[in-house]
Structures are given as structure tokens and as C-alpha cells.
Amino acid sequence: MTETTAVGADLDVLSERVEKAAALIQRLKEEKQRLERECQELGTRVQETERKLQGQDPGELLGEIHSLRKEQRLWEGERREVASRIESLVKKLERLDA
């Protein structure tokens, strides 16, 4: 009877481990499917981007990026200058009100 109980307990432990392994395998399969879909989506995006860039000179694109950055810096400088002028005018108005 003791051997039967021990065998039963061993079978219960084994059954539990098999169920956990099966659940893990199912989660891994689902994760694999999700990753495969994501990989396909990214592959599609890469192909679309390559098509958009096809025939464009990388040097020309870099030049355009540098030009846009320079323009951005100029706009930021102008924005700071305008903000400074507005601040100065507000201070003058505050002094007039006082």
C-alpha cells in the first residue's frame, strides 16, 4: 500500500510537471507566432522604406538633413529673440502700469 501511495504521489508530481510544461509550450508557441507576425510587419516596413528611398542619393539626403538642421537652429534663435523682445515689452508695460 505504501508503494502504491508513493507511486500515486510520483504520478501526481509528474502530471503537474507535464501540465506546466504543456502550458509553457503553448505560451512559447503563441509568443513565436506574435514574433513572426511582428517580423513580417517590420520586413514589409523595410521594403516600403527602401522603395520610397530608391533612386535617391544618400549624400543628397544627408545634405538636406544638414540644411534642415541649420534652418531649425535659425528658427530657434529667432524664437528666442522674439521671446526676449516680448519679455522686455511686458516688463515695460508692467512699469507703466505701476
All cell numbers assigned to 24:
509553457
Long-range (24+ apart) CB contacts under 8 A made by 86-92 are none
Name the burial class of residue 38, with classes exposed (0-12), middle (13-18) and buried (19+) by CB atoms within 10 angstroms of its CB: exposed
Length of the chain: 98
pLDDT in tens, 52-94: 888 888 888 899 999 999 999 999 999 999 999 999 999 888 8
**Distance (Å, whole) CA 70 – CA 61:** 14
Would you state the torsion angle of the CA atoms of residues 56, 59, 62, 63, taken in this order, to the nearest 10 degrees? -110
pLDDT in tens, 9-39: 888 888 899 999 999 999 999 999 999 999 9
